[in-house]
Structure 1
Amino acid sequence: MNEIRQRLPRTREKRRGALTAFYGDSAALADELEKEETRQRIRTYSETGDDEVIGAIRLLGRIRGSVTIIHSPPGCGAIKLEDELRAGGSPWLITNIEENDSILGADDKLREAVDRAYRTWRPEIIFILATPVVAINNDDIQSAATEKEDQYGIPVVPVYAAGFRSKTAVYGYDLVFHALAKYVLKKDPDALPLPAVNLIGTAGTKTSHIIRDLDGAGISYNNLSGSLSIAALKQSLNAFASIAIDKDDSRFLLEWLEEAHGIVHLEETAPIGLAGTERWLLAAARSAGAAGSAEQVRAYIEEAKAAAVTDLEWHRLDGASVFIDLPPEQAFGVAEFVEELGGKVAALSLTHADSSHVVRLREWAGRSNPQVFIQQGQPFEKINALGKLKPDLYIGRGEAAVWAARAGIAAAAVDSVDVYGFGGVQELAPLLTKALRNPSLSRYLSAGSSSYRAGWLSKSVNWHIKQEVK
């Protein structure tokens, strides 16, 4: 994989034509992403949105035995990073770059931060996360990292997140995996093959249900989900195959393992819903060396499905129109589950979309051909779309679900729900039907005045989305 020789991986826009602004139906988006060069769009007005720095922070915070040094000034940007890290995870420091540092360099502060991190936590690995100011003043992070690595005898790994190279937050995951592949994950020629499948899930992915399913089906796995360990990452180089819980987050790692080490990654959809979980488990079981007996796998799936189907009879959506607002892989999986419950998918609101999603978009074009909005962090566009579509139910994350409720739409927030596996079926279905059958909160919230003026809301949903001019 030639990108490992480079200082940075290519952005999702360059590698896969990723779009972060779009309005149209599923078929139109698939047509666009199949072109040799996608037509990038920009917003003439934008409220907020995560960037690659936030994406990198989310993943770094999930690596056990690590300390992250954020080479950054204090202030609003650092506070945002602090909020992300306080959600849990590994320790961190900020170097607090000041005005003089941004001109003269802050190499000494960086070295002091590495010293403090090592003395305080004795970590297994230290990450140095560059930020936009560092990208501008060009501090020599690599020299500091090499010096301290030699001094302490542990990996000190630079991660170059400028914050403005890509408009997709998932590029931050690419940057972290690229750094790990470049500096840390070296194959031991004496290591024995690992008769297991790599189970890959990254920043904050809940995995208790799907791990229970893997154990019940007798499928051997190397756990690279939730909280990651360096040992498991190194073991991944010896596994027979890889399967992701969410391919969007882990795309770079999956492709690198296949291209550099011949570890095929299984292109299966997220294990959400009855059919999705069954397909995913069967794919994992078919990977060489990853399964117990075929009879055990099939028997477990049939037993788990039977238990879930009984519960689902009480949680039908009965033709309700649904607006799904989640990252792509989750959105497609939840959408399929909505149909299993008898609902109709009216719209998909995604954080981004790229060429890896074309197959799923084509599938949905042949079903209900739902509207697709790509609008991460743009509540004014979301409110506009909800007002025009008037769905019966909104499914998304907590902060955005509040906006849907204020628009008078029954809303289900799935942040705290483990949506994966057969256990996820039994956890998610009651949440959806409860929201649909108890709309009193949304009625109450919608009785107040709107957060946006009528003039804004009367415009088309894509009013502020324009084709980029080169």
Structure 2
Amino acid sequence: MSYLHLKVPPTRDTRLRPCNAYGGSLCNLVDGQKTGCLSANGRSFTQATGCQLTLSMGMAASIPNTVVIYHGPVGCGAGSLALSGQSKESQLARGNDDAVGRVWMSTNLSEVDIVSGGEKKLEAAILEAERRFRPHAIFIGNTCVPAIIGDDIDNVATRLQHRVNARIIPLHCEGFKTRFVATAYDIVYHGILRYLLNGERDREPILRDEAAQIAYEQRAKRTVNLLNVGSMGYVDEVELVRLLNAIGLEANVYPCFTSPEKFVKVKDAALSISICATHDDYFVEHLKEHYGVPYVLNTIPIGTDNVRLWLLDVADFFGLREEALKVIAVEEAELNKALAPLKKAFEGKTAFVSTGEIRAGAQACMLENDLGMKVVGIRAHHYDEFGEIVFESFKGREDVAINVAANQPFEQVNLIDRLKPDVFLGHGNSNVWAAKQGVPTLPIYGPNNSYLGYKGVFEVATRLERILANPNWYNTLGETVELPYKKSWYEQDPYAYIRQDGEAA
């Protein structure tokens, strides 16, 4: 698999051949993905999608003691303005008392720079970042404009590396290069593996005596890499570490909110544990290939079924199945007791889930199997080979509408109008549209709320109960807000603009 000899990793479009335009049954989606035919699907009309730059830089900027440089027009970094406070809060929660929030700069390319080139501005920004902040690493986020005009950010990084102490990490995250924003995760992991992790050999701690070396190696045999994601708050990390500790394992959490100098330990772990294949497959495959660290990548621990699967996968690797089964039995018994008084609120209620493919499938499973709700619709940002296992329980369910779409609110509002769910679970942008249709909404992620593990099941259940008990605000929105779609659109097939298998528009 190795792509580390390349300056730029392949996009998801070519590496995994996923699908980002689909509407129909789950069986056809799974079969189509296996044959590869759905990767050619598209739309004759596209209303909105995402930009991998924002996702890449958000992930990079979460790493403390680094500076992020947006190489492009200043507007490309506007999204960081709203996230600085959240970043600082997240670092403080993880024990970084020196947290300063996100540190980012922009080369602020002008119309003149587009003609004459922006490499000199990038050089100046790198040197200024070193002078002002003395960071451990400097991430360069290449935007669309310099990529189009041909600025060579890799050459700039190479020329300046001997002049700065910070590790310079070029990230080729130009939004126009891929249809799948999840490529953004690969971009950042590629930079970490190629420029940061490989460069840390000279910074590894030296163990002074044989006893310390033996103790370190023994500890490593029971230490795992727990890989977090952007949509995973600190409270979720605490819950998963608690479960891993309960079966006798230690965990180091990477990459978000972890200082760069600690990344060297990722090579010494006995196992890498992903909570989302969409986020981590590129990283764990390279860790296994280059450093011999095996991995678990099956599912995300949302809902009792997937928490059980996730924990047993980890336990089986270490021969700890019996210990894990004991923990699971106690946890599930306590959870079922806590959920019992809440379940009445969910009787006869329907739900619609819209998020990334792994989370969408697991969250839908949790709503049905743990809470007794009926899922009537699932929207995934994209679909690839990793989605099948988390959608397993919905195979053959013709009563569940399956839509693959990154945003595309025009399709969502049509589906919501047809299915009329009692509650909608999605990201902020999706939730806005559902709320304006009068549907109570629950964010699929919040940095200060629990979603993963057994604690996550209970907290999602309590929040859903409160929302369903008092939907008046959403009712008022639905009655007073007018969406920008004609009545005729709601009468059409919601998938009318999806082109199957590359057919003409």
With 459-468 and 66-75 compared, the bigger mean Cα shift is at: 459-468
Match of 1:306, SS state, is helix
Q: CA deviation at 1:85?
A: 5.7
Query: Shift of the alpha carbon at 1:369?
Result: 6.0
Where does residue 198 of structure 1 map in the other structure?
Answer: 225
Q: How does 1:346-425 map to 2 (within 5 A)?
A: 346-366=376-396, 370-416=400-446, 417-425=449-457
Q: Is this contact kept in 2: 1:224–1:232, CA < 8 A?
A: no
Aligned 8 A contact 2:358 2:390 in 1: no
For structure 1, list consecutive stretches of 5 or more residues without a partner in the other structure: none
2:147 paired with 1:135: yes
Letter paired with 2:78: I
Specify the SS of the correspondent of 2:56: helix
The one-letter amino acid paired with 2:158 is T
Cα distance in 2, alignment partners of residues 147 and 83 from structure 1: 33
Residue number in structure 1 paired with 2:11: 11
**Structure 2 CA distance for partners of 1:296 and 1:356, relative to 1, 3 Å:** closer
Return the offset for 1:324.
0.7
1:341 and 1:111 mapped to 2: Cα distance? Answer: 55
Match of 1:458 in 2: 491
- Counterpart for residue 218 of structure 1: 248
Instruction: Decide whether the 8 Å contact of 1:20 with 1:352 is kept in 2.
Output: yes
Give the equivalent residue in structure 2 for 1:23. 23
| Cα distance in structure 1, aligned partners of 2:120 and 2:411 | 45
TM-score of the pair, normalised by structure 2: 0.86
Q: Judge which range, 421-430 or 43-52, deviates more.
A: 43-52
Alignment of 1:434 onto 2:466: yes
Take 1:4 and 1:255, find their aligned partners in 2: how far apart are those partners?
Answer: 11
1:200–1:39: structure 2 CA closer, same or farther, 3 Å change rule? Answer: closer
State the distance in 2 between where 1:24 and 1:236 align: 41
CA distance in 2, matches of 1:44, 1:100: 35
- Please point out which of 59, 79, 100 is paired with 2:112: 100
Structure 2 equivalent of residue 34 of structure 1: 34
Q: Of the candidates 258, 283, 292, which is equivalent to residue 288 of structure 2?
A: 258
- Displacement of 1:429: 0.7
Letter in 1 for 2:464: L
Q: 2:81 aligned with 1:51, yes or no?
A: no
Say whether the 8 Å CA contact 2:379–2:404 is kept in structure 1. yes
Match of 2:306 among 245, 264, 276: 276
Q: Aligned with 1:251: secondary structure?
A: helix
Conserved? CA contact 2:18–2:39, under 8 Å: no
Q: How many angstroms apart in 2 are the aligned matches of 1:209 and 1:226?
A: 16
Quote the offset at 1:171 in angstroms: 0.5
Q: Deviations over 1:132-176 (max 9, x none)?
A: 011111112122212222112331111111211111111111111
The one-letter code matched in structure 1 to 2:357 is P
The aligned residue for residue 334 of structure 2 is: 307
Question: Relative to total residues, which structure has the larger helix share, 1 or 2?
Answer: 2
Distance change >3 Å, CA 12–CA 39, structure 1 → 2: closer
The answer as to whether partners of 1:321 and 1:345 remain within 8 angstroms in 2 is yes
Where do 1:283-298 residues align within 5 Å? 283-288=313-318, 297-298=324-325
More displaced 10-residue stretch of structure 1: 362-371 or 149-158: 362-371
Tell me the amino acid that sits aligned with residue 90 of structure 1: R
Q: Secondary structure at the match of 1:90?
A: coil
- AA aligned opposite 1:333: A
More displaced stretch, 319-328 vs 184-193: 184-193
Aligned partners of 2:400, 2:189: CA distance in 1, in Å? 33
User: Aligned-pair distance for 1:259?
Assistant: 2.5
2:477 to 433, 445, 469: 445
- Deviations along 1:354-374, one digit per CA (max 9) or x if unpaired, are 122133344421456622112
**Alpha-carbon shift at residue 296 of structure 1 (Å):** 5.1
- Residue type of the partner of 1:16? L
Q: Aligned-pair RMSD on alpha carbons?
A: 2.4
- Deviation of residue 39 (structure 1)? 4.2
3-state SS of 1:34 partner: helix
TM-score, normalization by structure 1: 0.92
What secondary structure sits across from 1:376 in the alignment? coil
SS in 2 for 1:239: coil
Answer yes or no: is the 8 Å Cα contact 2:80–2:102 preserved in 1: no
Structure 2 distance, partners of 1:405, 1:73, is: 34
Q: Which letter does structure 2 place at the counterpart of 1:106? A: G
Partners of 2:266 and 2:62 lie apart in 1 by: 17
Question: 1:115 is paired with a residue of what secondary structure?
Answer: helix
SS of the residue 2:306 aligns to? helix
Alignment match of 1:182 (pick from 187, 194, 201): 194
CA distance 1:296–1:41, shift in 2 (3 Å): closer
Matched, 1:117 2:129: yes
Kept in 2, the 8 Å contact 1:57–1:85? The answer is no
What SS does structure 1 have at the residue aligned with 2:261?
A: helix
Instruction: Give me the whole-angstrom Cα distance separating, in 1, the residues matched to 2:490 and 2:442.
Output: 23
Q: Aligned partners of 2:398 and 2:311: how far apart in 1?
A: 27
Q: By how many angstroms is 1:322 displaced?
A: 1.4
Q: Structure 2 vs 1, CA of residues 25 and 448 (structure 1 numbering), >3 Å: closer, same or farther?
A: same
1:227 aligns with one of 257, 260, 264:
257
Count of matched residue positions in the alignment of Structure 1 and Structure 2: 466
Q: 1:218, 1:297 within 8 Å by CA — same for their partners in 2?
A: no
Change in CA separation of 1:37 and 1:458 when aligned onto 2, cut-off 3 Å: closer
* Paired position in structure 2 for 1:79: 78
Q: Deviations over 1:386-432 (max 9, x none)?
A: 11112222111233223212223232223323200111112111112
Are the aligned partners of 2:411 and 2:495 in contact in 1 as well (CA < 8 Å)? yes
Q: Give, in whole Å, the separation in 2 of the partners of 1:357 and 1:397.
A: 19
The answer for the alignment partner of 1:248 in structure 2 is 278
CA distance in 2, matches of 1:166, 1:83: 25
